[in-house]
Amino acid sequence: MSPILKVLLRRLALGALTLLIVSAIIFLAVEMLPGDIATEILGQSATEETLAALREKLGLDQPAVVRYLDWVTGALTGDFGMSLANQRPIGALIADRAFNTFFLAGHAALIAVPLSLFLGLVAALYRETLLDRLISTSTLAAISFPEYFVAYILILLFAVQLGWFPSLASVEPGMALADRLHATFLPALTMTLIVTAHMMRMTRAAIVNLLALPYVEMAQLKGMRRWRVIAVHALPNALAPIVNVIALNLAYLIVGVVLVEVVFVYPGLGQLLVDSVAKRDFPVVQAACLIFAATYILLNLAADLIAILSNPRLLHPR
């Protein structure tokens, strides 16, 4: 068995164990939320007998351990159960929402990753100059504000004053790609401004460290252009830390969209999560949280594998 395959299997096993632990934490956290769906449906004036009958019908009278085991075994087969609020299969309920969330995250990533790499390279190439300070200050300023503040500022500028983009990111099934990109540009730009600083700073730091190494100095002494030195010699060797921070920020783009989706009333998993918490529809909350957790773990696994492929020495840590 090849070393890379061994690492892959080991990381997959560790990821599965982590996801199992996270599923237990999610279930316990949801169990600790006040109220239940029976009270939400029947109202505060319902009698205890009526509430008990509805809880029995919905399976809420079962012990927590039994409900957790039923939920986990069903989730392993892709069956997240039924929504307690509208009695629809949760898989069908979140399918379109998950697509919308991943589309928004992909839209933001297509803007954020190239922009961050470019700004990091420019900042490293012109380090300790006014341009470097301007790039670092502006990106750090953007990340210092909460998502909802950045979102409202962008809405004020580009939706209210300029009228270039809609203030609400309304999308529908079968919508043309250009229309969908236009509708989701402001939330994607909001998420881009939030994550750019991390990726830019890591790119800059990795490139600056490599530019001081002897082989890079030798390439410069041979007359190679500085951009070519960075692109050919420095950047490939800096991929491991850069890929890791990009993967972490891509994971944030997916799991950290809740506030952005709420501000723009975007029909994604984050908005569904907030609505389900308000309705006490706990199976939907658990399913959405589990999808977020699985996505985060898979992206970290992909980052580790890409880092190992770009630097095989990581297969043999000291």
Give the separation between CA 311 and CA 243, rounded to whole angstroms.
11
Tell the residue number behind the tokens 């998420």, with chain if given: 191
Q: Domains of the chain by range and CATH? A: 96-272 (1.10.3720.10)
1-38 pLDDT, tens digit per residue, is: 677 777 778 878 888 888 888 888 888 877 776 666 66
SS percent in the chain: helix, strand, coil, step 5:
75, 0, 20
Give the separation between CA 253 and CA 78, rounded to whole angstroms.
24
The secondary element (H helix, E strand) that includes residue 146 is none
DSSP 267-311: -SHHHHHHHHHHHT-HHHHHHHHHHHHHHHHHHHHHHHHHHHHH-
174-191 pLDDT, tens digit per residue, is: 788 888 888 888 888 888
Give the separation between CA 9 and CA 303, rounded to whole angstroms.
15
Per this entry, what is the length of the chain?
Answer: 318
Say what percent of the chain tops pLDDT 70: 81
Residue 44 has what pLDDT?
Answer: 63
Nearest residue to 89 via CA among 77, 101, 80? 80
Both tokens of 199, joined, read: 């990726």
State which amino acid sits at residue 119: L
- pLDDT at residue 318 is higher than 60: no
Non-local (6+) Cβ contacts of 181 within 8 A are 107
The helix-helix angle for 185-211 and 239-255 (nearest 10°) equals 160
Per DSSP, the three-state class of 89 is: strand
Structure confidence at residue 315 as a pLDDT band (50, 70, 90): low
Averaged pLDDT for residues 50-63:
70
- pLDDT at residue 97 is higher than 70: yes
Spatial contact of 104 and 268, defined as CB atoms under 8 Å apart: yes
Averaged pLDDT for residues 257-278:
83
Residue 312 has what pLDDT?
Answer: 63
Give the separation between CA 239 and CA 244, rounded to whole angstroms.
8
61-74 pLDDT, tens digit per residue, is: 677 787 788 778 87
Which residues sit opposite 16 in a β-bridge?
none
124-171 pLDDT, tens digit per residue, is: 878 788 888 888 888 888 778 887 888 888 888 888 888 888 888 888
Spatial contact of 239 and 306, defined as CB atoms under 8 Å apart: yes
Averaged pLDDT for residues 240-264:
78
- pLDDT at residue 281 is higher than 70: yes
Spatial contact of 195 and 247, defined as CB atoms under 8 Å apart: no
Spatial contact of 287 and 90, defined as CB atoms under 8 Å apart: yes
- pLDDT at residue 293 is higher than 60: yes
Averaged pLDDT for residues 217-234:
70
Per DSSP, the three-state class of 82 is: strand
Non-local (6+) Cβ contacts of 103 within 8 A are 180, 184
Residue 300 has what pLDDT?
Answer: 80
